Structure 1
Amino acid sequence: MSLSSFNLYHQFSCPQTPFDERVFDAISVSFGVAVVECFLQRRRDLIAARSRGIIELVESWLGDAADPETVWDQAFGRTDWAMESSEADTGDVATQLALRLSSRGQPGQWHSILSRPMRLRFEGWLLPQCTEIDLQSDGNTVFIVLKVENSGTENIGFERTEFSWTSSGAQRLSYAKVNTPIFLMAQSAIEGQLTIDDQFGSITGYPEVTGNMVQNVQKALDILAKYAPQYLQWVERVIRGIVVCQCKETRTRSSTWSEAPGIILMSVTDDPITIAEMMVHEASHQYFHLLRKLGAVDDGSDTCLYYSPAVSKERPLSRILIAYHAFANILLMYRTTRLNGLVDSGECLRMENRMQGDIGLLGAPLHANPALTPLGNALYQPLAQRAEGLDGGG
């Protein structure tokens, strides 16, 4: 691959660069297909021991043309993670993968036993907690029988509409939307599937989703749509679900799971511009993690640690880059909304100035650093030019 071809990957830096959906789709689809093929090859016996029909369903899907929306999902991220981590249960991961394929219209019949009671998602619907699942689908009508702990079985039905599904028996997840729905979920929707690392000790609880939470996320999306439409696209392209948490006093918190494309954790707040900031922050991480599927962002030759204001710690170069990538996009989001007329009593300018100081610290070790690979520079240079007025040093 020539050095010039890495200009294709500048689009992962910030939304101000031209974006070719074909590049994004090609990376996500090729990686998703490769992960599933490897999963079947390595874990076939384990999958067969806990299920029937799933292997046939997945093989049938592999024989069709994969679409980007199907693979941009937690199920595919966890399939990859299951081959690297002993924490992931192969049978559970296979079940999530099968349910994702069924929710995208893949016909088939399968049965699976879970390692523990858990709630699973079917597109924008949450199934009751179960220990076993039996599913039949012709691609348009889905019939599910769940074995529910201590209470026998429960029947769930889905009918495909032009753009979504209708259901009898499943819980519809609330969502905010301008163009693409972003679903809000309680922690119970990911329990047993994703682990929340409260590294700052700031999380005080995991509330149920309320109408007020949905309204505030909607207001945040509406702000982006009106005052920073490039960042609305940046967010909507990669965020599909928000797991809500509660933080101490006025603190806010957001994070991304590298093994869960499309899903982020975000704390509750009534301030829409802060919600917009957190969504831009975590969307940036999603782009970063996807591009890293193609290779490293630094070559390991710079072994120094550098101070990161993001975590108030010394961090290696790759972690400095991921923080810079998020913070510089936040700066550009605030600058764009301010210049486009958002009236907010100076909050955008205050946050822009604060971010300018942070990215100055983060950017210093990145500028002209020969340890950055072409992929690393593809993430750094377009942002350095726009956020700091630098040539990026590459």
Structure 2
Amino acid sequence: MTKRNIAGAGIVGQSNPSCQRSCWQLRGNKDRWYRKLERAMSSWSPPALLGLDVEAVRETLMSAALRRESWLLHPCATVIIDEGERPASAHARLAVWAAANVPSSTAEEMGGLTLDAPTWVWGHQGSFILAPGTQRLRETAEHAGSSPSVPVSLPVPDPWGDSFVHREEFGDLAEHAWWNRTALPPEGEARLAADIHALLRAEHALAAVLPDAAAWVTDVTRVVVPLAGSPTPSGSFRSGTLAGLPGVALIEVTTQPLLVMEALVHESAHLHFHLEETEAPFFEESDTRLYDSPLRPDPRPLRGIFLAYHALGYMCAMYEDWLSATGDGRCAEALEGLRGSRDDARATLERAAADGLTEDGRRFLRLCEEYVDRELPT
């Protein structure tokens, strides 16, 4: 996807709540995700070799789902609903992640975990390795670290894809992942470290200047996979999400923080959209037409146009809020192209809405037009 090549890498400004729009309060409907977990919980069956007290772990997970605990909107939890066989490590990762997010007394009641080989699992600071053998889940939770006690818990970098098992489902995008470059030379290690630092700087800048926007991002984006590809001189870079994998965005990191923030907002918009559409389809199956896309050269189904419109609206909102908060003139250049693409996508949706969108789709379009597709007064 081609982005504006905004020159410079400086971050200026400070939080200005009056510059932030109400669209950041519009979140994807998580109830459907939790209900999906609840229905699948009874059939969750981890391998016996892990030695888990399945009923105790299941009770912890079900209780968290019923309470709509935010930590269950995470890639570690997808093994509950995944169809087909998943590796034992995915189930171990879920058990450790659950133990890391409940009181120690509850983690103790969850029992133990047996591993026959060193296994990468996931905690609040990212991945870590557990040694073979049997240990209490309460002890693994201590290794996983405590839940951050900060207003906005920023997405955690995951260059190796240790938080999920869906690597192959990202298709061509996965070719640029660091997990395909495991034998890193020194220059590769330096590049990876620089990318992670650039990602974290952009995340912290967004949280410092636009905290409402950052909270909206982290509401659905829990893990960011920085991609290893090199951006082209035109400012093009890659990013992506999967509808069935909540909490994860793949992003090619650049040295330009505004572009990294744009990518975070873009992919978080897709994750919010996916949640909203869970078990409530927006599109009529009978509509097989293809439409001109504002973001891609090839014609797309109506779903692709709606995804683009929704993301473009939030990308415009980010740049408008950033411009209002900081006076950064680079935003005007970005907005010039983004607004035109957003308006083109909206026009296509309005023409096709009557017979291409379901009632749920038309309702969500009205919400977007009311809360997202509205420019700040100058």
- Counterpart of 1:274 (choices 252, 259, 262) is 259
Distance 1:317 1:78, change over 3 A: farther
Distance in 1, Cα, partners of 2:77 & 2:210: 30
How far did 1:72 drift? 1.0
1:329 aligns with 2:314: yes
- Counterpart of 2:111 (choices 105, 109, 112) is 109
Q: Per the alignment, in what secondary structure is the counterpart of residue 262 of structure 1?
A: strand
Instruction: Figure out how many residues of one structure are paired with residues of the other and give that number.
Output: 335
For structure 2, the 5+ residue unaligned runs are 1-19, 182-187
* Cross-structure match for 1:246: 228
Counterpart amino acid of residue 104 in structure 1:
N
Distance in 1, Cα, partners of 2:279 & 2:263: 26
Counterpart amino acid of residue 185 in structure 1:
D
Q: Deviations over 1:306-349 (max 9, x none)?
A: 12243322211122211221122112211222233332xx4311
1:128 aligns with 2:113: no
* Seq. identity, %: 19
Distance 1:292 1:118, change over 3 A: farther
Q: Report which of the two has the higher share of helix.
A: 2
Q: Deviations over 1:154-203 (max 9, x none)?
A: xxx63865x459xxxxxxxxxxx872132112225358553363547983
Distance in 2, Cα, partners of 1:317 & 1:351: 25
- Counterpart of 1:16 (choices 8, 14, 22) is 22
Distance 1:336 1:191, change over 3 A: closer
Q: Per the alignment, in what secondary structure is the counterpart of residue 242 of structure 1?
A: strand
1:73 aligns with 2:58: no
1:358 aligns with 2:360: no
Q: Deviations over 1:20-48 (max 9, x none)?
A: 88x845444333323323x33xxx4xx35
Distance in 2, Cα, partners of 1:60 & 1:388: 42
For structure 1, the 5+ residue unaligned runs are 1-13, 145-156, 166-176
- Residue pair 1:28, 1:71 contacting (<8 A) in 2 also: no
- Counterpart of 2:206 (choices 211, 221, 224) is 224
How far did 1:89 drift? 1.6
TM-score (norm 1): 0.72
How far did 1:232 drift? 1.6
Distance 1:191 1:48, change over 3 A: closer
- Residue pair 1:120, 1:129 contacting (<8 A) in 2 also: yes
Distance 1:373 1:203, change over 3 A: same
How far did 1:204 drift? 7.9
Distance in 2, Cα, partners of 1:196 & 1:244: 16
Distance in 1, Cα, partners of 2:331 & 2:77: 37
Distance 1:375 1:17, change over 3 A: farther
Bigger relative contact order, structure 1 or 2, given CA contacts below 8 A and separation 6+?
2
Counterpart amino acid of residue 119 in structure 1:
W
Q: Report which of the two has the higher share of strand.
A: 1
* Cross-structure match for 2:37: 32
* Cross-structure match for 1:171: none
RMSD across aligned positions (CA): 3.6
Distance 1:29 1:192, change over 3 A: closer
The 5 Å alignment of 1:1-394 reads 16-17=22-23, 19=25, 24=29, 26-37=31-42, 39-40=43-44, 44=45, 47-62=46-61, 64-66=63-65, 67-80=68-81, 82-83=82-83, 86=84, 88-89=85-86, 91-105=88-102, 106-107=107-108, 108-111=110-113, 119-128=120-129, 134-137=134-137, 141-143=138-140, 158=143, 163=147, 179-187=152-160, 189=162, 193-195=166-168, 197=170, 199=172, 203=176, 212-225=194-207, 227-250=209-232, 251-343=236-328, 346-367=329-350, 369-370=353-354, 371-385=356-370
How far did 1:366 drift? 0.8
Q: Per the alignment, in what secondary structure is the counterpart of residue 126 of structure 1?
A: strand
Distance in 2, Cα, partners of 1:252 & 1:193: 22
Distance 1:63 1:301, change over 3 A: closer
Distance 1:384 1:192, change over 3 A: closer
TM-score (norm 2): 0.74
Q: Per the alignment, in what secondary structure is the counterpart of residue 319 of structure 2?
A: helix
Counterpart amino acid of residue 355 in structure 1:
L
Q: Per the alignment, in what secondary structure is the counterpart of residue 216 of structure 1?
A: helix
Distance in 1, Cα, partners of 2:302 & 2:122: 37
- Residue pair 2:167, 2:174 contacting (<8 A) in 1 also: no
Distance in 2, Cα, partners of 1:333 & 1:188: 28
How far did 1:302 drift? 2.3
